[in-house]
Amino acid sequence: MPRERSARESVTARWTVRAATLGLALVGALLLARGVAASNAAVGLSEASRDALAIPRWLYVATGGAAIGASALLAGFVTDRGFVERVHGWRRDLSAGGRGRTLATAVGAIVGLVLLALVVYRGIAGPQLSTINFAVVVVFAGGRAGLTMAAYAVGNAWPALNPARTLSSRLPNGFLTYPDRLGRWPAAAGILLLVWIETTTGVTDTPRTLATFAAAYVALSVVGAVLVGGDAWFRNVDPVATFFRFYGRVAPLAWEGGRLRASLPAMRLVEIDERSESVAGQSEPGGDARTAAEGTAATDGSGTTRQRLVTGLGDVAVAVALVWELTFSGFVTTEQGAATVRAVASVGLPPMLVYAALFLGGFAAFYGAYLTAAHVSVRRVLTTRTPRELAVAFAPPLVVVAAGYHLAHYFAFFLSLSPSLTAVLADPLSAPTNPIVLTLPAWVSALNIAFVLGGHLVAIWVAHSIAYRLFPSRLQAIRSQYPFVFVMIGYTVASLWLISLPTATPAFLG
């Protein structure tokens, strides 16, 4: 009888937590579903205003953070390792590749080269109005928004489209050896640099500037790939290729072992190689080379081995950068962000210095908060694993968080500009005489909340699965997640606050 009563109480407790979580999520959705929309850096293409929230912003933000925290507690009740393994290990083969993949790759290469040529040509020779210029619309509406959403929602097509890879693969390469000690830090720095250029240089509304940057970027990528080899360059240095590869790991479709394989969304991010546990702790805490403890491949639960996404602190920096770049671009394109920059600059500081301090300081704060969570987690679970190991292991969920942010920032933007994108692609050599920008219904803005919260909920499940592959003890697996979930809640609160603010042209940049 005592055992039966204990079992009934346990079941009751679980359902109570589930009901509380569902209640919080529903309340959050109701509170957040009015008058909010996300901003993006491409303000030269979209100047839509939005209404203020009709509820206290603190309640709006706190409810979203509470929903994320409650979901983490709920995940802690899922302790069946077999069930967790089945979820992230589910796979279905859709195609054996072969001729179909070869043909698709060839077509993608041609399309990528043609688009590059048109971006450069129309950016220089076309009308210098951002809303109708082929280069601006295709790069930002088509690439920054549409192709990125396709990368994490369907699969990563950039390796086939990448014109720099197509050109460099036809040339002799590999004259120098890429130093492994650099890891993925060059790509992380490159992503931050591209975001800085996008935000501060006017490429979003100056077609000639955008065309010049595009041509210079491809030329630099070709030279780099020739020097150190295409694989080393595009995996470690090239920021755009790294950007799409990280987002592509969230997608349900991918080529693995020569086959097109379907999985549950984001489950390919659960990549802890259980075979490495016997040598865990042998890596140097400060290095970024791929060591035996980290490995270069991971099993996915179905026996397939693939290259791991995150192998060092440089990869952690990339994951954090994907989260921070959307937070930064969202902040500087709000009325509050513009007012903050003006207030700081009013004391005599150069505006660009203010932007640089905000940009780099914010990234350092996000990165530092994540590393702090790794140190706290090690102390909480009393493990022999190092903070660096946990930081590397728990970084993939941040990519899911970033995907939710990106969808919230760019979904409505992409929909509103889809007619313009269709028009310039249908007739790239002439500008549309009457460009159409869709006015979206108010309920579309409510989707932004679902995107942000949904990304965080999936990220928590990914972290839960990773923890169960890291630790043999259930208690260790559950407790190790809490510091990282706390950081995720902080990211959630910041993102929910940003998408509740009205947009504005960035100060001193408009």
Tens of pLDDT, residues 285-311: 333 333 333 334 555 444 455 578 999
Contacts by 157-161, CB closer than 8 A, 24 or more apart: 157/108, 158/240, 158/241, 158/244, 158/245, 158/248, 159/234, 159/241, 159/244, 159/245, 160/104, 160/105, 160/107, 160/108, 160/109, 160/112, 161/108, 161/109, 161/111, 161/112, 161/115
pLDDT range class, residue 211, cuts 50, 70, 90: very high
Q: What share of the chain is helix, strand, coil (3-state, %, to 5)?
A: 65, 5, 30
d(CA 164, CA 278): 40
**Predicted pLDDT at 61:** 52
pLDDT tops 90 at residue 12: no
pLDDT range class, residue 73, cuts 50, 70, 90: low
**Predicted pLDDT at 443:** 78
pLDDT range class, residue 401, cuts 50, 70, 90: very high
pTM of the model as a whole: 0.84
Q: What percent of the chain stands above pLDDT 70? A: 77
Tokens of 57: 């912003």
**Predicted pLDDT at 506:** 86
The per-residue pLDDT for range 310-350, each reduced to its tens digit, is 999 999 999 999 999 999 988 888 888 999 999 999 999 99
Find the mean pLDDT for residues 155-175.
Answer: 95
Q: Count Cβ atoms below 10 Å from residue 186 Cβ, excluding itself.
A: 18
Cβ contact 159:241 at 8 Å? yes
Find the mean pLDDT for residues 269-281.
Answer: 49
169-183, 275-289, 439-453, range with the lowest pLDDT = 275-289
**Predicted pLDDT at 124:** 95
* φ, ψ dihedrals at 43, nearest 5°: -70, -15
Cβ contact 424:436 at 8 Å? no
Higher-pLDDT residue of 50, 183: 183
Q: In terms of Cα–Cα distance, which of 272, 359, 350, 274 is closest to 311?
A: 272
